[in-house]
Amino acid sequence: MKSNRGESAILAVHLLALAATLGPPLFFGAVVAPASFRLLPTRDLAAALQSPILTRLCWTLEGGFAVLFVTSWLLTRRWGAPRGLAAFATRAPLLGIIGAVVIEKLLIPRIDRIREEAPGLIDQLPAADPGRILLARTHRLATGFFAVEIGAAALMLVVTVRLVLRRGGGPAAPTTTLRDAPKLLDLSGV
């Protein structure tokens, strides 16, 4: 019974980490980023808003993918998953961690530095300006790595479903046996 409780706890933590790595980036990419660019008067203001949000999102993703790595490793060992499935279950979180670190440590600071060093608002620079071109390329890179993050989380969702289905619906529920209850009032002879 202890292993069932342990497996249930590991699976619950795994599912929470999966939600933390899939939901926030989808919400940011589908709602926050487009809305900030649409509602704020300049792209520079939108970027100034998004930079700290994206940095904190990367922290959430790094932590979530680290938890997914540990829980995937534990679940695949306990449930005796095939090597291929176990490889996907542990490699996808590593891909997610790498993507989050690249965005947080390399791309966000570079984008912020390009905006700070620009001679004016990026929106008002000519299209051929080297700073504007570099910013566009760096933004495309960040968007690509962000897509890798979402892809790694989606892959983890598929792998988790395969693991649970292979296991047979998750950890088995504890079973109890019912004993015959003593009859307190027997009215059968009346």
* Mean per-residue pLDDT over the chain, rounded: 89
- Condensed to tens digits (0 to 9), the pLDDT of residues 136-184 reads 999 999 999 999 999 999 999 999 999 999 887 545 556 666 666 666 6
For the segment 109-122, the average pLDDT, to the nearest whole number, is: 88
How confident is the model over 122-145, as pLDDT tens digits?
888 888 888 889 999 999 999 999
pTM assigned to the model: 0.81
**What's residue 131's pLDDT?**
86
Annotate the chain with three-state secondary structure.
CHHHHHHHHHHHHHHHHHHHHHHHHHHHHHHHHHHHHHHCCCHHHHHHHHHHHHHHHHHHHHHHHHHHHHHHHHHHHHHCCCHHHHHHHHHHHHHHHHHHHHHHHHHHHHHHHHHHHCCCCHHHCCCCCHHHHHHHHHHHHHHHHHHHHHHHHHHHHHHHHHHHHHHCCCCCCCCCCCCCCCCCCCCCCC
User: Domain locations in the chain?
Assistant: 2-167
Q: What is the pLDDT of residue 173?
A: 58
